Chain A
Amino acid sequence: MTSRERVLAAIAHKEPDRVPVDMGATPSSGISAIAYSNLVKYLGRDDLPVQIYDVVQQLAQPDMSIIDRFGIDVLDIGRTFNTQPSDWHETVLANGDKAFYPVWFNPVLQPNGSYHCYDTDGKRLLAMMPKGATFFDQSYFPYVDGYPENYNGLDEEMGRVLWSRYVHSPWDHAADPGFWEQLRKNTLHLRETTDKALMIVCGCNLFEWGTFLRRMDNFLMDLLCEPDQVARVLDQLLERHLATLEKVCEAVGDIVDIIRFGDDLGMTTGPFMDPDTYKMLFKPRHKQLCDYVKSHSQMHTFIHSCGSISSLMPDLIDAGIEIFNPVQTNAVNMEPEFLKKEFGQDCTFWGGGVETVGTLNNGTPEQVREQVLQRLEIMSAGGGFIFNTVHNILPDVPPANIVAMFEAVKEFNGK
């Protein structure tokens, strides 16, 4: 089987020749710049540049040689942009290592060691990363004081939210003339030159955009106090997301295999909201996104949601979501056995392969191996599983454990 056939077989719940693997195809199944820098040094490949393609989350784009070395089966089509050294400029990581930012990203170092990002007026603070932190935080919330009368200014305001302003590739090129043609061209070229499955990361976040616009605390209260306003803003967002999907489906819907949406609906103890609230406000809109993709492309639908979401999963599946990530198995009611038994027939798990809180960061390579083998045993039966860590590999993960993790996958696949 080729990598692509393997991934597609798993999604179709046919047991593939071996369990497919991801690292780096999405910004929630990837590796942080510091962890990646440590990894390439450990592998004796410190000639490889550490390119921070997702600057907000400080994630590195793994080099093709690393992807091949670990037998990774899927690629983000965003990696076909910013391929020239001149697309990058040098920066320094919190651990002192050299790395690269896309040329358009120029945060300003403050006397206290933090980094700030300002709006074009040079005054409005949009995002900041405290000294020693490894993540840019949102500083500007457009509708923190209340909903606007009309949404004429929504596009502009969305553009001031860090997730949009400093978005990863390919979207950092979305405003370039001829972008959609270029995207198609690049994706076709990728399809011709690799046998890996292809992913497009296309947020379409609904709940999260509400929290970006209103701030988390306000938006959570709005769900109960102002459901009409929530519905109104969600419709505005949906309209924009559907317009994007139309272009995506047209440009690459016949080439790309998986489209990734995002919406963090869970915390450790349960979902952020009552399942009834999800059903009323979000489910119908998630369904519209999924329906559109299904009727206009060959792509499979994937959602990233952290936390304990098993109580929402029946509705998400019903809305048309086929693949779940990062499968936060350490959250309440998210035990791998339970998930596989309860939902294994109806969806694919993309993640949950090893705990990033505990085992991968603090365990020994042998403990990593044991957990990986155990998870593979539970999750891979009958397909429906793509091996990946629970969320991104953070700076605290030692490279020896990353290697042990991939070795264990190989061991399992070889048996």
Chain B
Amino acid sequence: MKQILLITDGCSNVGESPVMAAAHALQEGITVNVVGVIDHGTIGELGSREIADIAKAGGGLSRIVGTPQLAQTIQMMTRKTVVQTIQQAVNKEVKKILGDGSLEELPPLQRSQVVNVVDELTETSPLRIALLIDASASMKPKLAAVEDAIRDLALSLEAREGKSEIAVFHFPGRTSSEDAELDMDWTSNVSGVRSLFSKLRMRGATPTGPAIFRVLEHYRYDTLDGHHGRLMTEDPDEREGMIGGYVV
């Protein structure tokens, strides 16, 4: 499973539409979640609509919270989307086998078996989350909370049985040609999440769309690289076979 978690506090203002970028991500099997983080004032109608639209296009969830709720919110979103992704895959199988309907329509015994499979896969499937952090000037006072939330997320992921990795990007990058900069490459090591953003120089522009594309490139590059093993959504036939085996 692959996810992008975008943490921002406002509207994009440079480059391609972030909604389109998120739609591209979904097309490539990557779910996009968005957290709008605000401490004072509001995020504005435009900003909150964009946040909702990006998540919708990316097949994920969106929330607008203050920094105290940040850690808990991204935990919940991540967990929920992982379950959703698994559930969608399992539901497809269930339909094939039992003919009708969603989980809610199954009789208790079958439902219990299906949920067992979902829980099992939720815990054991390999998972990758790319965190994409808005580092525009207004985000500066919130970055400490963001870093704490990332550490907390990494701690939860570390407890999973399946392989879990995170990577951290911030945008915009150091030069105007760089849409997003990689702060930490794929790791499953919580202790790596320390002073991520200490050397950041804040800049004004918010190229959310191009930054999402940059992360997609990173995902693609890594898939070509191939030494990280196959992730669940890369091969639909393989995946369906595996789940089918569980259900029957």
Do A and B come from the same complex? no
Residues of A within 8 A of B (CB): none
